[in-house]
Amino acid sequence: NQVKRIFNVALVTFIVLGAISFVVMYIFARPLANWQGDVQATLAVKALAPACFFVCVISAFRGYAQGHANMVPTSVSQIIEALGQLVIGVGLAWYLMQAASGTATAAAGGIFGVTAGAGISLICLIVYHIRRRRREPRIGDDRPDSVKRILKRLAIIAVPITLGASIV
């Protein structure tokens, strides 16, 4: 029960943090691009914004699997994420360059591969989690920690790690 409560609290927390990160990055795409020294990067920043949401949610699912000493979901999802980034990112960049959409748009297409790869990875992790949950034994009668206590521990341990992963 404790493990499930921690996962559920972490998942909701990271969904909220990811949504806030996505909205801030999307709304402030132009100032962020200016801050980086290239206003033409605005589309690329917008294309990358949903990845912030995906990475936050992915962190909860990967952490749950790793907490069960199961690195398979993390490994497989990372490979799928990298393949999605490569195939979709390079494919979109190439297509947009061929369509003479301009370098800024092609760069946004290329960077969208990061977002698409993370999205596909998240879908795979959700499917894996649902399948695994169906095979789990019935819940015991232990009493899990309060949501407040779990949130405090998450803030101290997991949030900095997730923010670091989002920046990368």
Per-residue pLDDT of the chain in tens (168 residues, 90 and over written 9): 778 888 888 899 889 989 999 999 999 999 998 888 888 889 999 999 999 999 999 989 998 898 888 899 999 999 999 999 999 999 999 999 888 878 888 988 999 999 999 999 999 999 999 988 877 766 667 777 787 887 788 778 766 776 777 676
CA dist., res. 45 & res. 149, Å (int): 35
pLDDT of 115 reads 94
Given a contact cutoff of 8 angstroms between Cβ atoms, the answer to whether 111 and 48 are in contact is yes
Given a contact cutoff of 8 angstroms between Cβ atoms, the answer to whether 73 and 61 are in contact is yes
Which of these, 127, 129, 154, 120, lies nearest to 51 by C-alpha position? 120
Given a contact cutoff of 8 angstroms between Cβ atoms, the answer to whether 89 and 116 are in contact is yes
pLDDT of 139 reads 66
pTM of model > 0.85: no
CA dist., res. 109 & res. 17, Å (int): 25
pLDDT of 167 reads 73
pLDDT of 133 reads 80
- The tokens for 140 are 């015991």
Would the CA dihedral through 30, 33, 37, 41 be positive or negative? negative
